[in-house]
Amino acid sequence: MDLQILGTVVDVLEEQSGESKNGPWRKQDFILETGGQYPKKVCITQWGDNIGQHNVSVDDTLTAYIDIQSREYKGRWYTDVKAWKIEKGSGASGPAPSQEPNNIGSVDLGGEDLDDGLPF
């Protein structure tokens, strides 16, 4: 499955690092806001060398290619959205362009018109 999110970076959080049984690690989260009538904010994580390679900044318009993974810990579930590739610009400038029904993934709905005015 090829998932991607198009949007504008509204915040870049502080880099975190540590040591695990597998060695040192580092990660950085950024908040991407999608376009459209009902914009969504998504927290996306970059790991390791991807942090410096992509150099994400506030107000960047970009497409993040992502993997979504959930894990269970003590009876609760946690979901991570991890960017494995980032393309800046995406042929757009300014706020993220609107795509229907949303900007997450590529879904063929058989030509159905889903604009019923509801935010979900």
Give the predicted TM-score (pTM) of the model. 0.69
Residue 12 pLDDT: 94
113, part of any domain: no
**Model confidence pLDDT, tens digit, residues 18-48:** 988 888 999 999 999 999 899 999 999 999 8
Beta carbons of 62 and 89 less than 8 angstroms apart: yes
Whether 26 is covered by a domain: the verdict is yes
Instruction: Establish if 99 belongs to a structural domain.
Output: no
Helix (H, G, I), strand (E, B) or coil at 35: coil
Quick one: residue 37, left, alpha or beta (phi over 0 = left, psi -120 to 50 = alpha)?
alpha
Residue 39: which of 107, 104, 91 has the closest Cα? 104
Give the span between the Cα atoms of 7 and 62, in whole angstroms. Answer: 6
- pLDDT-derived band of residue 1, with 50, 70 and 90 as boundaries? low
- Are the CB atoms for 69 and 1 separated by under 8 Å? no
44-85 pLDDT, tens digit per residue, is 999 988 887 878 999 999 999 999 999 999 999 999 999 999
pLDDT at 107 over 60: no
- 29: containing domain: 3-88
Q: Can you give the pLDDT at residue 7?
A: 95
Distance, in Å, from the CA atom of 19 to the CA atom of 12, rounded to the nearest integer, reads: 22
97 within domain boundaries: no
Residue at 77: amino acid letter: W
Number of domains composing the chain: 1
**Could you give phi then psi for residue 23, rounded to 5 degrees?**
115, -170
